[in-house]
A and B are shown apart, each in its own frame.
Chain A
Amino acid sequence: MTTPPATVATGLDKTTVEKPSPLPLLEVINVSKRFPVRLGPLKRGAVSAVDTLSFSVEQGQTMGIVGESGCGKSTAARLVVGLLPIDEGDVIFEGVNVRSPHQPRHTGAREKEIHRNMQMVFQDPHSALNPRASVGEIIAFPMKVHGFSRQDQRERTGWLLEQVGLHGNHASYYPHQLSGGQRQRVNIARALALSPKLVVCDEAVSALDKSVQAQVLNLLKDLQQELGLTYMFISHDLNVVEYMSDTVCVMYLGQAVEICDADRLYANPLHPYTRALLASTPVLDVTGAPRPDVPPLEGELPSPLDPPSGCRFRTRCPSAMAICAEEAPAVTQPEPGHRVACHLYPAGPDAGLSMRRHAVDGRPERNSNA
């Protein structure tokens, strides 16, 4: 690995891996997002895309977010990085509340610094790159906005291209001259251009062939190790999330239903939805532990316009009970560090938990609107 030229001036050099900070890098606290929709000439409704979502991501780790299409994963990603305004809740980054509906939006230099630290790898390698710009221009644009000198831009672009496994000459290529995998590498290089601490990968490999997926996933892992990156890794593919993540958050209809370390979640899923999801995933590894024998889910995701009362999963849940329709389940912790929101696991003495403090215990819980 060559030394990176043009490191960011504000001490955000990510080549020196820092010690894990005592606070999580990112905390998402009770974040909600509704999209208003018109149901008729006078009638209006709201799609509840994300509802009281909470989780935290530790420095240098990968938080996987998994769920069906339409469960609010991508909305959650856009809320975290600030592409969408939050309706309720807080996003705390490095101990600072960066986006909250209760305080004015950060502007100017502050906003730029937040952007510099949180970048995103997009899903569609075709629409994620400007078809009229060369690869070099695409990667250099964030640096240009942040006032890097021309020479720094050029040197760093070359370095980034090498980091993502491309050749420096690729800078003069146009996106349509690259393969899907190469485009996704450019997509990653652009996300790394400003030396971010957090990289949100929104279905970063879903559009790629399986063989190319593996290459890109390994690239992401290598980069994480070399640059000390923290990932929020969003995918509908359970195998991919298992491979990438330290912690996994399972989402259903805009809510987190289970959060746990990846190994334990896949070995011992607690929520009926997680079980059904895992059961529906093809397993190629015949020597590994068999996945739970649960019938696959039937029916479609209920409309987020009018989510079911109580537990949102009850309409498709094989173990639905009477209470499920009446009350939303509280978050419980049936085993250490494994949190689940389901009435099958009655709240014990640890009532009032949230999905956030899943990994590191012994730290005070932060309240919303802190």
Chain B
Amino acid sequence: MALAEPMTAHSAIAAWAAVDAPATPESYLQAARRRFMSSRVGLAALAVLLFLVALSVCAPLLTSYDPAVGQPVDRLKAIGTPGHLLGTDEQGRDMLTRILYGGRMSLIAGLAPVFVATVIGTALGSLSGFIGRWVAAVIMRTMDMFYAFPAVLLAIAISASLGPGLFNQIIALSIIYIAPIARVAEAATRRIVVAEFIEAAKLTGAPTTRIIVTQVLANIFSPIFVYASGLVGLAIVTAASLSFLGLGVRPPTPEWGFMLNSLRGTIYVNPWVAALPGFFIFITSISFNMLADSVRDALDVKE
């Protein structure tokens, strides 16, 4: 195309729009992926998380120590001790080994309840946001009842009634996170149901559930995703509290939160070692948050 004036971005778009047969543009997901790939923070967070997952999964290959059994003579070694790169804990167990194995439990304890709560909370929240009236009143007031208790207390109560163990801990944590996710989903749904495209969908005669699944979910996904990924770090810490009370994984199985609690007493003796599990919880949690932010930015098409 021979243009007298220099081709500015604006004139390029105008020229493109003037073409009779438009080329196929990139799809929504392609565009989202391209935007995500150009976000350095998001890629770094993703890399850190994949690295942590790989470390936990490959733990037996990376260390020869037993995570549950220690050498009492080697108690509370400092970081950098030969043979114990990250030192040892109060029972002489290798910290690197326990961090690697503990990552398995912590990542499961953090991710599984948030995933379960997101599925259930989104279903309840979008339903009540869409239908409103008495349906919303019943669902959201029930959610408010969960809000009335401190989350940790509620988790303790549920765990205690179900009995100890990782699975029951996941159930307890799932239940306490349903309410906040349902609230986020409800608010997002209420913003979207007033749009005319929802009325258009109603005019097809499609049933409510179908309209929610096809028209609402994609539009409320990003706020829920961002909120839920922020809960992952919190879930790891709450899981730790339950373990501390003997309601989660049982000692000597390593788990970051529980390790943090049991190393509390050595904070004046060996502060860097005592802080290690907390450091990993922090890294995991902040990586999830930054990953979520980048994914949200990538998914946000301007409307």
Contact = CB atoms under 8 A, between A and B. Distances in A.
A194 interface: yes
B25 A167 contact: no
Contact of A83 (B23, B202, B219): B202
A119 B218 CA distance: 24
A124 interface: yes
Interface residues of B, number: 29
B142 to A, nearest CB: 24
A190 B25 contact: no
Contact of B196 (A111, A128, A170, A173): A128
Given A167-B21, A169-B23, A172-B25, A115 B204 contact: yes
B199 interface: yes
A150 interface: no
Given A119-B203, A120-B203, A145-B206, A132 B219 contact: yes
B262 to A, nearest CB: 47
Contacts of A175: 303
A112 interface: yes
Given A120-B199, A130-B197, A167-B22, A141 B303 contact: no
B23 A127 contact: no
Contacts of A124: 196
A194 B24 CA distance: 26
A177 interface: yes
Range, interface on chain A? 35 or more
A33 to B, nearest CB: 16
Contacts of A167: 20-22
A172 B199 contact: no
B205 A130 contact: no
A127 B195 CA distance: 5
Interface in B23-43: 23-25, 27-28
Given A169-B22, A176-B302, A134 B200 contact: no
A121 to B, nearest CB: 9
B53 interface: no
Nearest to B206: A145
A142 interface: yes
A123 B203 contact: no
B9 interface: no
B214 interface: yes
B1 interface: no
Given A127-B196, A131-B301, A167-B20, A142 B28 contact: no
A134 B28 contact: yes
A145 B208 CA distance: 12
B266 interface: no
Contacts of B196: 122-124, 127-128
Interface string A126-151: 11111111100010011001100000
Secondary structure of the B contact surface, majority rule: loop
Contacts of B20: 167
Contacts of B215: 130, 133
Given A83-B202, A112-B205, A130-B215, A170 B195 contact: no
A201 to B, nearest CB: 13
A77 to B, nearest CB: 10
Given A127-B196, A130-B215, A132-B218, A115 B203 contact: yes
A167 B218 CA distance: 26
Nearest to B199: A83
B99 to A, nearest CB: 40
Given A120-B203, A122-B199, A172 B24 contact: yes
Contacts of A170: 22
B210 interface: yes
Contact of B28 (A82, A111, A132): A132
A81 interface: yes
A345 interface: no
Contacts of B203: 81-83, 115, 118-120, 142
B139 interface: no
A122 B25 CA distance: 26
A176 B204 contact: no
A126 B303 CA distance: 7
B136 interface: no
Interface string A65-90: 00000000000001001110000000
B286 interface: no
Interface in A255-287: none
Interface in A145-195: 145-146, 167, 169-170, 172-177, 179, 190-191, 194
Given A141-B214, A173-B25, A128 B200 contact: yes
B27 A172 contact: yes
Given A122-B196, A176-B303, A177-B25, A141 B219 contact: no
Contact of B201 (A141, A169, A173, A194): A141
Contact of B21 (A123, A133, A169): A169
B12 to A, nearest CB: 15
Contacts of B210: 145
A129 B197 contact: yes
Which of A119, A175, A177 is most buried by chain B, counting CB atoms within 10 A of its CB? A177
Interface in A87-133: 111-112, 114-116, 118-120, 122-124, 126-133
A196 B83 CA distance: 78
Contacts of A118: 203
A78 B199 CA distance: 9
A126 B301 CA distance: 13
A167 B22 CA distance: 7
A146 B199 contact: no
Contacts of B21: 167, 169
Given A122-B196, A127-B195, A131-B301, 11 more contacts: A83-B199, A112-B205, A115-B205, A119-B203, A123-B196, A133-B215, A133-B218, A142-B204, A172-B24, A174-B28, A176-B302
28 contacts: A83-B199, A83-B203, A111-B205, A114-B205, A115-B205, A120-B199, A122-B197, A123-B196, A127-B196, A128-B197, A128-B200, A129-B197, A130-B197, A131-B219, A131-B303, A132-B219, A141-B201, A141-B206, A145-B204, A145-B210, A146-B204, A167-B20, A173-B25, A174-B27, A174-B28, A176-B303, A177-B25, A179-B17
